[in-house]
Amino acid sequence: MSGGGEPRRVLWSVVVLAFLAVLLDGFDAAALAFSVPTLAREWGVERAAFTMPLVLTNLGVVVGYLASGPLGARLGRRRLLIGGVVFFAAGTLLTAATLALQSISVLGVTRVLTGLGLGAVLPAAVALATEHSPSRWRERVSVTVTLGLASGATLGGVFGGRMLETLGPAGVFWFAGGAPLVLAAAMAWRLPPATAAGTGGEARRGERVGELFRPGLRTSTLLIWTFSFLVFVSAYTLQSWVPALLTDFGFAESEAPLGLAYFSFGGILGGIVLIWLAARIRIAPALCAMSLLGAVCALVVARVELGDGPLLLVIGGAGAGLIGSQIGQLTMAVALYPAATRTTGVGWAAALGRAGSIVGPGIGGVLLGLALPGRDIVLLTTLPVLAAAVCAVLLWRTGTAPAPAARPVAEQRG
């Protein structure tokens, strides 16, 4: 860093470790989703019975997101990130150890504990990586780190079927819990010490949620929260249930995780497209474009008869639009909030999104339990994302969304 506290260059070791932490977060979240068809068959229950563990995972994540700001101010972002990784690793290992009980209730308890750790990881990872990056790089770094979620889910979709066949569901969770412990050791070794600005009374004042509603931020905060909630309702309905839904489209259980892989890989491409769009137009119109892309592709999946290959490609398009929108709202939060409130700003935006991720899979599970056809469930996911596009238009029209490169350095320092 320079004498004034502004980093002169990106500290890529921090970015890589933060990305890997979020990647393992994404893989862990996907592990239960792609294991549901196999677990349902082995346990002799309906797929909809796993609604509670899926919802409780996201509930734990919401609590972790909301707590990330105060915990980051008290412990420092470095210790919060490492602690979050260790905590979700422990919860996942506990899941692996208790699967033999074949108890939905026990699975729900272990997954809510896992979710608490998962929720601490993303805000701390994004805030820590951007803290060690110059102002002009912060949006690109935040997108890069956040893409870890889609990358982890993509790996789960690509290798999930093979892992289930060779390791079984318990083996999947043993792997998903062991890998983060290795990463935590690497982070303890390589992450730089906390900066003086990262803890203490000043940091705690900056991380109060009331700071997000100061004049000039209030409208943007409310619109970002609403956009995030609605997009996550649609995205997590598909992400949580697409392997199960694809069995209604004629896919075998071992092939169904491919839908998650295409959806998540589409999200990676959506994040790359988002970077390109945000560099040329403001982030709010970029979010309009991405959310509309997700809605159109979901509509095609629901109403157009397609072969397996084209169907998977269109699911990828839906992932590009929806996951790109998820990444975009966090990127907007990074750009909008100064450094002192960034962990709280990112954490609360992500928490409102995860609140949507609780509602979405819950509704999807109810609809599956009512034997609603998979195509109709997909069709219903277009409604929230269209409403989210309206929020993005309002952000665009009110002019409260920041331009990609317009943040003053002094404000970025907090």
What is the mean predicted confidence (pLDDT) over 379-399? 83
Q: Per the structure block, which two tokens stand in for 211?
A: 């700071």
Residue 4, in any domain of the structure: no
Asked if 338 contacts 281 with a C-beta cutoff of 8 angstroms, the reply is no
Cβ-contact 65, 123 below 8 angstroms = yes
User: How is residue 395 written in tokens?
Assistant: 């952000």
CA-closest candidate to residue 401, choices 392, 413, 409: 392
Per-residue pLDDT tens over the stretch 290-342: 999 999 998 888 888 777 778 889 889 998 999 889 888 877 777 777 777 77
Give the C-alpha separation, 65 to 50, whole Å.
23
**Range picked from 104-108, 245-249, 388-392 for highest mean pLDDT:** 104-108
pLDDT averaged over the chain? 81
Q: Which domain holds residue 381?
A: 12-413
Please determine, for residue 410, whether its predicted confidence score (pLDDT) is greater than 50: no
CA 382 – CA 375 distance, rounded (Å)? 12
Judge whether 47 lies within some domain.
Answer: yes
Residue 5 in domain:
no
At residue 63, does pLDDT exceed 80?
Answer: yes
pLDDT, one tens digit per residue, over 186-207 is 999 989 886 544 445 555 555 6
Residue 81 binned pLDDT confidence (cut-offs 50, 70, 90): very high
> Crossing angle of helices 257-280/218-248, nearest 10°?
150
Q: How far apart (Å, rounded) are the C-alpha atoms in residues 246 and 248?
A: 5
Confirm whether 391 is domain-assigned.
yes
Residue 237: inside a domain: yes
| Nearest in space to 146 (alpha carbons), one of 254, 216, 228 | 228
Q: Rounded to the nearest 10 degrees, what angle do helices 12-43 and 104-131 cross at?
A: 170
Number of domains in the chain: 1
**Whether 115 contacts 59, CB under 8 Å:** yes
Q: Report the length, in residues, of the chain.
A: 414
The rounded percent of the chain whose pLDDT value lies above 90 is 25
Q: Which long-range contacts (CB under 8 A, 24 or more apart) does 396-399 make?
A: 396/282, 396/284, 396/285, 396/288, 398/219, 398/220, 398/223
Is residue 3 included in any domain, yes or no? Answer: no
Q: Is residue 7 in a domain?
A: no
Rounded Cα distance, 244 and 251, in Å: 9
Residue 192: which region, alpha, beta or left (left: phi > 0; alpha: psi -120 to 50)?
Answer: beta
Half-sphere CA count of 15, side-chain side, radius 13 A: 18
pLDDT of residue 312: 86
Q: What is the tens place of the pLDDT at every residue in 129-173?
A: 988 888 778 777 888 888 888 788 878 877 888 898 899 999 999
Which whole number is the average pLDDT over 252-269? 77
Look at residue 1 and tell me if it is in a domain.
no
CATH of the domain at 104: 1.20.1250.20
What is the pLDDT averaged over residues 375-399? 82
